[in-house]
């Protein structure tokens, strides 16, 4: 885990984009404006609002068993069809802070719904 104290959201986004693995990053905030700006501006594959980064898992995203992790932008090699040129940014939002344990015990359940357009 990396923790950095910064002056404002812009500094946080700059720091994350410069120093994170670009795999999964999260913000804990009650401000809808801060959450929306964080989700929009952090350049990571998974960007979460009020949720544990432990939710970053291919199985939870409906991809089946997770076979590996890629942090590069495009990793295709050899002959490539259109699917090889696509990549995703996963966004997870919550009104409350959640941990995986709440879902493992059945206290919370998963809901999948489109987020776009993201404002």
91-108 residue pLDDT tens = 777 777 767 777 778 888
pLDDT digits (tens, 9 = 90+) for 12-49: 999 999 998 888 899 999 999 999 999 999 998 889 99
Alpha helices in 6-56 (DSSP H): 9-19, 32-41
Q: Residue 43 CA to chain centroid, in angstroms? A: 9
Q: What is the pLDDT of residue 67?
A: 63
- Average of pLDDT values for 43-58? 86
Q: What is the pLDDT of residue 74?
A: 59
Q: Is the pLDDT of residue 114 over 90?
A: no
Q: Is the pLDDT of residue 118 over 60?
A: no
CA-to-CA distance for 34 and 41, rounded, in angstroms? Answer: 10
Task: Classify 39 as helix, strand or coil.
Answer: helix
Q: What is the pLDDT of residue 12?
A: 94
The model's pTM? 0.65
> What's the mean per-residue pLDDT of the chain?
78
Rg (CA), the chain: 15
């Amino acid at each position: 885990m990396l923790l950095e104290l910064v002056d404002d959201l812009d500094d946080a986004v700059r720091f994350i984009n410069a120093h994170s693995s670009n795999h999964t990053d999260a913000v804990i905030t009650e401000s809808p404006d801060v959450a929306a700006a964080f989700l929009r501006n952090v350049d990571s594959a998974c960007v979460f609002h009020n949720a544990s980064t432990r939710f970053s898992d291919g199985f939870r995203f409906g991809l089946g068993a997770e076979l590996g992790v890629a942090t590069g932008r495009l990793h295709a090699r050899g002959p490539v069809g259109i699917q090889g040129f696509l990549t995703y940014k996963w966004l997870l939002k919550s009104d409350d802070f959640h941990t995986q344990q709440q879902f493992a015990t059945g206290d919370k359940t998963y809901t999948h719904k489109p987020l776009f357009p993201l404002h």
